[in-house]
Every structure is written in structure tokens, then in C-alpha cells.
Chain A
Amino acid sequence: MAYAKLFDSSRCIGCKACQAACKTWNQDKLEKTRNRGSHENPPDLSANTRTVMRFTETEDPKAVGGIVWTYLKDSCRHCIDAPCKAMGDGFDEGAILQTETGAVVYTDKTAVIEDLQYACPYDVPRQAAPGSPYVKCTLCIDRITNGLQPACVTTCPTDALVFGKREEVLKIAKERLEKIKTKFPDAHLHPDYEDVSFIYLLHQKQEKFAERLVSADHSQKKYASRRDVLNPKKAAKGLSKLFRT
């Protein structure tokens, strides 16, 4: 049974309840944070933080109030054919599991993998220290295989997060996209939606969201989508790490 999770940025109010729910459910450690002039905290994904809300302000004279303020839920996209698994299998085939639910799950065996984060177009996998297991969103595999929704989805007060069977979620996403296009002419599904199980419905252009929305590349280049990363011409330097032995 393939599932999908949808993030609808037109409904998100940036409350960070999803962050809190995730930590509570996973019993992850808390980090010592400080305010750096932003509502973003913790500042980044880590071995203890599987999701963060990214806040981006853009001045736009055509927008209501002259400002577009977006909130983006940043976490693992649960690729349908995960490059991190492709890399991990090179170290231990049991380290990373690609499940039929769509969830890509890391086990403790990921501790043997080196530089796993280079495999990920979205710069998601994190480890506490070299030699320790990698950590990321599990799509709440323990909840979804027991009739529950992921903790973040259950908590979201405005239905900005939707979870269900993949076809149904895609249907909801496309219907919602049609509906909001009049108010938000730049609304679109993030182009990677066919390749991932955590789909983004964005009500503004990608550049009005956090830079991390685009695929990450460790040589400082930016890509519009994961497909560009897998294009050897564009990702020669970074991807060489994917296939090392």
C-alpha cells in the first residue's frame, strides 16, 4: 500500500506544531538554541531534529501588503527510488529500508555509512557524529502501520498536512491546486512530486520559499528539482561520492 503526505503551503500558518509533535512522538533530544533574528529554531535538521519550519520574507509590490511571507516544512521527501538507499546499499543492504508504504526508513546500521548526506538531493540525512546512525523523518512508519496518521499530520490545525493513499493524496493535491490558482496564479506542485512520497503544493514561486526547497548540491550550485541532480552533466562533482566504493 503506497502512501503519500502532502504539504499545502497555502494553508500553513507557520505554527511549528508539526515540529513539536515530531519531537514528542520520536522522543528526540532537545537542542540548546538561541534566537538568531528568526522564528526558525532549531536552525537546521540534525540527529535530534527531523523537521524544521523555514520562514522566508520577500518584498513584492504585487502581493497583499507588499510582502510574501512563506512557511515551508522541511524534512525528508521519502523518495520513491531513494538515492540514499542506493548509496547505503553499497555499505549494508539492511541499513536503509525502502518500504511499500513509501517510507524510507533508516536503521542503526546506517552508522557504517560514510558521507550519506551527499547522496541526498535535499540535504536531509544527519548524524550526531561520524560513526553514529543517520537520522531523519520516518514518515511515522510505526504510526501509519497501526492505523494512525503521522504525528505532524494529526497535529496540524489547518489541514496544511494531508496523509493517505498515494492516489487519493495526489487527487486532493491536484484539486486543491486548481482551486487556489485564481488567488495564487503561481501555485504549482513542486516538480519532484512524481518521484517522492512527501509532496509539496506551493502557492508561490519556488524562489519565495527557503533556498533549501530546491535540491541541495554540496558544490554550492542550486537545482530546480531532483531530476537535475541526477543529470550527470549538472551533478558531476557531488554525485561522484554516490558511487564510490
Chain B
Amino acid sequence: MTNHWVDLRNSDVILIMGSNAAENHPISFKWVSKAMDRGATLINVDPRFTKTSSKADIYARLRSGSDIPFLGGMIKYILDNKLYNEFYVANYTNGAFLVNKDFKFTDGLFSGYDPEKRKYDKSTWSYQVDENGVPIRDKSLSDPNSVIQLLKKHYARYDIDTVCKITGTDKQDLLNVYKAYTTTGAKGKSGTIMYAMGWTQHTVGTQNIRTMAMIQLLLGNIGIAGGGVNALRGESNVQGSTDHCLLFHIIPGYLKTPNATLPTLAEYNKAYTPTTKDPLSANWWGNYAKYSVSLLKAFYGDNATKENDFGYGWLPRLDAGANYSWLTIFDEMSKGKFEGFFSWGQNPACSGANSNKTRNALGKLKWLVNVNIFDNETGSFWKGPGMKPEEIGTEVFMLPCCVSVEKEGSITNSGRWGQWRYKAQEPMGESRPDGEMIDDLFKRLKAMYKSEGGAFPDPILNLSWDFYDEKGHLSTHKIAQEINGRYMSGPDKGKLVANFTKLADDGSTCSGNWLYSGSYTEDGNMMARRNNEDKSGIGLHSGWSWCWPVNRRIIYNRASVDLDGMPLDKEHPVVKWNGAKWEGDVPDGGWKPMSQEGTRLPFIMKPEGVARIFGPGLAEGPFPEHYEPLECPVEKNLLNSQRINPTIKLFSEKGEGAGKDVYMTCDPKYPFICSTYRVTEHWQTGLMTRWNKQLIELQPQNIVELSKELAKLKGINNGDKVIIKSARGQIETVAMVTSRFKPFKINGQTVHQVGTTWHYGWCTPEDGGDSANLLTPTVGDANTMIPESKAFMVNIERKG
């Protein structure tokens, strides 16, 4: 989130789209309720009328996979009716920048497309610059090559009638949403977006969010109280896991994983350190080398020296351009490319798209280590339905880990707040904290490398690993301190650094994650603070826990003021210049206001210093464009000739059937759209919740929700057993016939949508049903590879 949970109560208009917050983030509704008590309007857009819809003031339906037309139409509405915040757009975004004259968009493709590689050469997606290399601006926003004018041209096709034909939304409902949300462009008004997997789990997922970010920028909603772009994370500490970068393409602090084309530290730092010619741009990523070197010093301690590139050569490197994401991993695994696999705190047999493929892939391993709190479909894959254990050679180890309340450490919530948690009881039985298992593994590997040698022992042997307390136990405090960072030399050697402004690129500091620098300092564990006083009046609670960066609760907050540093929204100021310094939240850079000497632009993480309405960094284009889901009910994309996202990776194993990468579009065998989602009573694959008898009592079996019309068509009654089938697999569910799903009219054609949860698995309970991911396709977003589990095609039949 750019903002945080409590801040939701400051909004004038809350849009919940791509999320069913009342169902899956019930505590968030505490804050939504408070906003509504203050008179806020709640808008909900969803294919299905959900619990969130039942609380909304305005509701509109759209078919799964049509969010970009819906939001693109809102952009057109904003531009046509001049509802954008002119000051904000001209000063704080690249709306006024002039774009390279060779930048083109024709019939679904931007300039630079290579159809063979399914990739873009993005060189024309650039700004026009002056003789000093600074982007040229037209603050009047009228130049035909200005971003705003190009934006207008791009979304001219997204008129209301076309949008409704694609999304299946009622025209008046659409207008009600547009009217209400765009009121937040007015001075003193704020609008926020709460979104989740309903937006991300699509082949255009990243662009879904981009479209909303652009709307927020046009309306001036970033950096203000009650505004922002707010992802509702699906796990209590997934924000922490992404910050510490447990993903292949990044290393802690959102630094980039080295790749084979960058053999030296100098080349690596150069490649990833953006530069700017604009003296007004703070270009904070210009400090990249300070963070990368400090990270290396954290990894390798005194073994990392200037002479050996601070151990850069010991980091694993990716093949350039190669994709090591989840879907690729299981694809390679299914081809027998892996010997072993640590499946740590996860349940891939139920969580990954195309579960049959995943389960079969596990059978190709020589060994599997499943670390979890309960038995599950992954650790026990070999005895699952359809498996022949006598033909499976995988040796499986199940290591029981203890649960979060049996250990001490931090959990980072969606609002970036790192909150320290204490140990409530000792781990049960033989279960152990994950950290201790990793520690044991490391110690043994180190010993083996030492005595037996190996292909490349250095990365393990040179690791700095000083995480033990006086009793010799692994201490999360010590780990947190190293993450914060300390001085490695000089008069302050050994002392914890105050924050990331103290980090250096010469090896004199270390930090396990520059973003968390400041979280555990000489003043103590900032994440353990529990002062819930609120001096700000807008619910910042700055003394409760610690958030990154540097406890700044609302990021980009210098976009919440005018050029003199006065709040644009006087009733809910985030920061305010008092003549000498900033008051309120930690300012997003302490420089003077924009009207004074020595100032800096407010979006400090971009080399241009301003936010991007024109966004050249993504795979499929600088402006979001509608492409249909890979499996969809329509043959034609009404907005361009590209049916699907031209840059998505396509997997395809020939043949049809369980586990194959088969896709069926407009196939009469699979005529209905299916989406997967969650219910309050269960969580994710249900690994943790299905063993809890109390939760099973509340929600015992998987369901399929379908409209009364579809139920009539298929002869299905409420409560009947129903089989849902896709080109890849099938599951058994109980029918919930409801008026909350209604057939869509898509360009004159009647299209039905159904939905099911992905909480169940064959392990337990016996009659609960198996995973909905047996249905989902092996395809992911063009930028993140997150699977498209929200829109694919199925058929349903009553079970006899």
C-alpha cells in the first residue's frame, strides 16, 4: 500500500474492485465503516454481488477479465469532462512531458513489437529531452505529443457503449461509478482503491493496477490522506516476504538479482543505478550502490572486501532474460529438470495453476522436502487421487515447523508496518521455527563444503552468520539488527545505523535490507513500539510499530501540498511546511517546498522525479490496453485485433487432459467463465484451516456459485453436487444457486459466469472437494507471471 489500513477511514470515496474485502479482509471493514460513518461513499465493482457489494452505496457488475475497458472508460470520462486535477497532473506527474515522436500505437500494438520473440523494443517509449537531457514539458497539457494528449487519443476508443459491450455492465451503473469516483478529483477530496487478486491474477494483471494508478494520478489522489493505491495483501506477512524479496528476480530491498551479462559489481551497479539530468530530481535509486554493497557486506561480512567486489561473484546469477518464476519452475520440474525441491511453508499441489501438472511434476523429483505445520496435498502428493505410489521415485521428507505464535519476530502488514510479535508458547512436539531449520541446514552444508569441497564452496563458506544470542540460540533480534544495518568500520564500528541515509557504497556499512534500515537502531526495536497515540489527526499512529521507509506512513506525501508546501487538503494535512521544516508525517524527502531553492520533485523513486502516467517500464506498453484472458468466451477483442496480451509467455504441452497446458477459447465444451476466490472461514489452499474442525463446521465443502438462469439451463438445484470441468481437470462442488450472479450480455451474446473457492484439497476433509487449481490454466501475467486464476473457461454438470 502507498497508504495504510487506518488511513482508509479518511477517504471520501472508497472503490473496492478486484477485491471482496468484507469477505476476505473483514478487519479492513472496520476502517471502511468508519469512513462511511463520516459520509464516505463505498463503490464496489465485481462480477458477483458479494458481501462487499451488500454494504456498498454503488454497485456495478463486470465480467471477469474486463477491468481495463472499465477503468479505461473512466480515464476517458475524466479527460472528456476535465475532471482531472490540473495542478497535480502538470506538476507532479509526467502528464506534461513530451513523448518521442516515433512512439506509436496501432491496432493493439505499440511501436517496437517483435512477434517472434513476443517482446517489445522499448526505445521509442521515451521522452523528448532538451539540450541538457531534461524531459521537455508542456505545462499547458495541449501539445499533441504530450502524455495527456496521447492518453486522450489512446482511450478515445473506450467510449461507454463499447465498454459496456465488453464488460457486460449496465450503462447507468457504469456512469454512476464514474460520476461518484471522479468527484475525488476536486480540491480537498480523496478517493482510495482497495484491490487484491481480482486484479492481479490475470494475464493483464499489472496493467489492471497501472490503469487505476493512472486514474489516481489524474485525480490527484496519491500522497494524500484517504488516497493512494492500496493492495490488500493475502497473507499476514507476504508484504514482509516481498520486501525481503523471496522472488527470483529481486534481492532484499527490491534490488535486482544479478544476471550473467553483469560479471562485475561495477557493471551490475551501473546497469541498475538510474541517472537523471534534471537537477530537480532527487532520483533516490541513484543511491543503489550504497544499498547493494551494504547488502553484500551483510551477507559476507568481513569476507567481502573492495578487492573481491564485496563478494559479488559469490551471488548466484540468472541467465539473461530467463524466467525462473513459479509456472516455469513447475514446467521444468515436470520435464525432470530438478533433482530436489524445498517446498517451504507452501502447498503447491493446491496453490499453483494447473494442479495436475504440479502434482505430476513432484513425482519427477528425486527428493522433496515439505516444511509445514500440517500434512497436506504437497507432502503427501504421492498418495493423492490418481497417483500410483509404486511408480513414484520421489523421496519425501516432511519437516514440521512451528506456528507464528510459537516464535518471536516481525510481521509486515499491507501498510508496510513491521510489527514485532512475541512467543506465546513453546513449539509443540518436534516442530521447530523455520529459522532454526535453515540455520541447521546452513551449518551442515558449511561443514560438508569444508570437509568435502564441492563445485563452488565460496558462497557458503564466506557467509557471515552471527545470529546467536549469549546462550548460542538463533536470535531473531540479531537478524533484525543486521537487516537494519550497522557500521563495519570506523569509530562507530559495530553500532547500528540510524537509517538508510547512513549507508555507504565503500564497504563501511552493512544492511540486510535498506528499506528496513531504521527498524532496529541504537534506540531499540522500533517495530516493537506500541504507542497508539495519534497526534496527526489522520490516524498515522507514528509511534505504533515502524513502517518503511523511515516510518513514513503515507508515501509520496510531498505531492499532498502546493508549491509553497501548504496542504492541498486543509482538513486532512499529511505534511506541512512551517517555514523552517516539515510537520506531520515523515516527509518524502526533507527538501524545501517546490517554490524554493534547493527543492526536489516529490516522486523521488523515479529518475524523472514525477509519477508516470505514461509508463514505459512494463512489458506490454506504456498505456494499458485491453486484451482478453487467454481462455475467454469471445472470439473478438472489440478494442483491437490482438485477442490476447501479445507479450505473455505461452506454455504448451501437446495433447489434452490432466496436467496438460491446454487452452480452450470459444469452445462449446467449456462455455462458462469461471473465477476462483475465497471465503471468510478458510484461508488460501486451506492447508491451515481445513485441519481446524471448527472452521470445517462453519464451511465444510467447496461450493460453486451460479446464477438462477444457468441453474435452470443445466437442471441444477441449490445444494446439488456439481462437477466443474476445464480442459485441464475437474472438481466436485456443492451448488449455491444465487441471484448474486446474473448472466452477462457481452456484445449481444449471453455469457454465464460461475465461481468457486480454492480452499479445498483431497487431504481433508473427505467430502470437501479437491483444489480449484486443478481447473486453472498455466499462463501468467506478462510482467509478474502470476497465474490467471480469475478468468478461464469451464463447464458444469450436475453429478448424477
Contact = CB atoms under 8 A, between A and B. Distances in A.
B is a partner of A = yes
Interface of A: 11, 13-17, 19-20, 23-24, 30-39, 41-42, 57, 59, 64-70, 157-159, 179, 183
Interface string B696-722: 111111110000000000000111100
Given A64-B58, A157-B26, A159-B30, A33 B700 contact: yes
Given A33-B700, A37-B736, A41-B699, A157 B30 contact: yes
A183 B42 CA distance: 12
B49 interface: yes
Given A42-B697, A65-B56, A157-B29, A37 B735 contact: yes
Interface stretch (B104-112, B314-322, B347-355, B737-745): B737-745
Contact of B29 (A13, A42, A65): A13
Q: Could you tell me the dominant secondary structure of chain A's interface residues?
A: loop
A37 B734 contact: yes
A33 B696 CA distance: 8
B701 A34 contact: yes
A159 B9 CA distance: 15
Contacts of A11: 33
B423 interface: no
Contact of B59 (A41, A65, A159): A65
Given A23-B694, A30-B694, A39 B59 contact: no
Contact of A15 (B680, B695, B719): B680
Contacts of B695: 20
A23 B697 CA distance: 11
A57 B54 CA distance: 10
Contact of A37 (B51, B61, B737): B737
B121 interface: no
B740 A67 contact: yes
Interface of B: 22-23, 26-27, 29-30, 33, 37, 49, 51, 53-59, 61, 679-681, 693-703, 717-720, 734-740, 767
A39 to B, nearest CB: 7
Contact of A39 (B58, B696, B699): B699
Given A37-B719, A57-B739, 11 more contacts: A15-B51, A20-B695, A24-B694, A35-B699, A35-B701, A35-B703, A36-B734, A41-B698, A57-B738, A64-B58, A183-B57
A244 B501 CA distance: 83
Contact of B33 (A20, A37, A159, A179): A159
B734 A35 contact: yes
A37 B37 CA distance: 34
Nearest to A183: B57
23 contacts: A13-B55, A14-B51, A15-B22, A15-B26, A15-B51, A16-B698, A33-B700, A35-B701, A36-B734, A37-B717, A37-B719, A38-B719, A41-B700, A57-B739, A59-B739, A64-B53, A64-B56, A64-B57, A64-B58, A157-B30, A158-B26, A158-B30, A159-B33
A64 B59 contact: yes
Contacts of B694: 20, 23-24, 30
Most chain-B Cβ atoms within 10 A of its Cβ — which of A16, A37, A68? A37
Given A11-B33, A35-B734, A30 B697 contact: yes
Contact of B27 (A14, A67, A157): A157
Given A57-B740, A67-B739, A36 B719 contact: yes
A24 B697 CA distance: 13
A159 to B, nearest CB: 7
Contacts of A32: 697
A37 B23 CA distance: 17
A23 B719 CA distance: 26
Nearest to A64: B59
A57 B51 CA distance: 11
Contacts of B739: 57, 59, 66-67
Contacts of B57: 64, 183
A10 to B, nearest CB: 8
Nearest to B28: A157
Contacts of A37: 703, 717-720, 734-737
A37 B701 CA distance: 10
A106 B680 CA distance: 32
A163 to B, nearest CB: 17
A17 B695 CA distance: 10
Contacts of B680: 14-17
B51 A69 contact: yes
A117 B734 CA distance: 32
A68 B54 CA distance: 7
Nearest to A53: B698
B33 A158 contact: yes
Most chain-A Cβ atoms within 10 A of its Cβ — which of B26, B695, B718, B737? B26
B87 to A, nearest CB: 33
A30 to B, nearest CB: 5
Contacts of B61: 65
A68 B736 CA distance: 17
Contacts of B23: 13, 15
Contacts of A158: 26, 29-30, 33
Contacts of A38: 718-719, 736
A48 B792 CA distance: 41
A14 B23 CA distance: 8
B681 A16 contact: yes
Nearest to B768: A35
Contacts of B719: 35-38
